Amino acid sequence: MLSAAVLVPLALAAIWLGAAPFVSLVGLGAVGLGAEWITLCNQTWRRPAGWLVIASLGLAVAVAGGVSAASGLVIAIAGAALALIRRRPRLGGGILYIALATIALVWLRADPAAGRGNILFLMLTVWASDVGAYLAGRLIGGAKLAPLISPGKTWSGAVGGLLAAIAVGAGAARLGGGGTLHAGLVAALLGIIAQGGDLFESFLKRRFGVKDSGHLIPGHGGLLDRLDGVLTAAPMAAALALILGRGVLLWT
């Protein structure tokens, strides 16, 4: 609770301000995620391969915020290609995995008309999914969702997370206009994708033989542990925004 009390207001302030504060926060997050990924791969940032990950992610986000998202993606792809050339495919995969999500966040927020609303909608939906899944899983329990990947997750938690995400979507429609059904469907899609990201991160930790991705956040583990849902939901939100067009709120 203390960790969340510090991190949530910081994230909300950066989202509200946008521009340099938001890009800076996302860039720092990308570098932190990259450092944890390097550790998961039994590498160190002190070696060239590690520096390649850190530099690729930091530069990709900075360029995405200062030039264009497409330019940032080019840098990330180039970094991943260099990692493959150095026979570090896991590091290359990590660059693409983290860069796609962080650049999507920067691109979403850059929309002057709908950026703030879309990012807030995305984050609140993912947070609601996380909290709903945790509470329902703890209070109801029951059959395991994917015991070979994450023994702690249950079907009741998955349903609870989905319902919480839909509730956020419906709330956004009531407060900001738009159809309740449309908003609920978008929130449900983002919630499902976020839960998929949670399972994917659990799979990665089992694959790499670790319990937590890191210990940066007391009570939460690492950044990968805390942002697993965002890493998969952000690209989906960006894809929806691209389809709807700039200036359009996701829930309207």
List pLDDT tens digits, range 10-68. 889 999 998 999 999 999 999 999 999 998 888 887 788 899 999 999 999 999 999 99
Taking the C-alpha atoms of residue 19 and residue 112, their distance in angstroms, rounded to an integer, is 10
53 and 44 in contact (C-beta within 8 Å)?
Answer: no
pLDDT one-digit tens code per residue, 120-143: 999 999 999 999 998 998 889 888
Mean pLDDT of 184-207: 91
Residue ranges per structural domain of the chain: 18-110, 113-252
Residue 59 identity (one-letter amino acid) = L
DSSP code at position 141: -
pLDDT score of 174: 83
* pLDDT of 76 strictly over 70: yes
* pLDDT of 188 strictly over 70: yes
Confidence tier at 173 by pLDDT (50, 70, 90): confident
Q: Classify residue 70 as exposed, middle or buried by CB count within 10 Å of its CB (0-12, 13-18, 19+).
A: exposed
Average pLDDT over all residues of the chain? 90
Distances (CA, A) of 102 to 73, 173, 206: 10, 26, 24
pLDDT score of 218: 59
Q: What is the pTM of this model?
A: 0.92
pLDDT score of 213: 64
Mean pLDDT of 97-115: 96
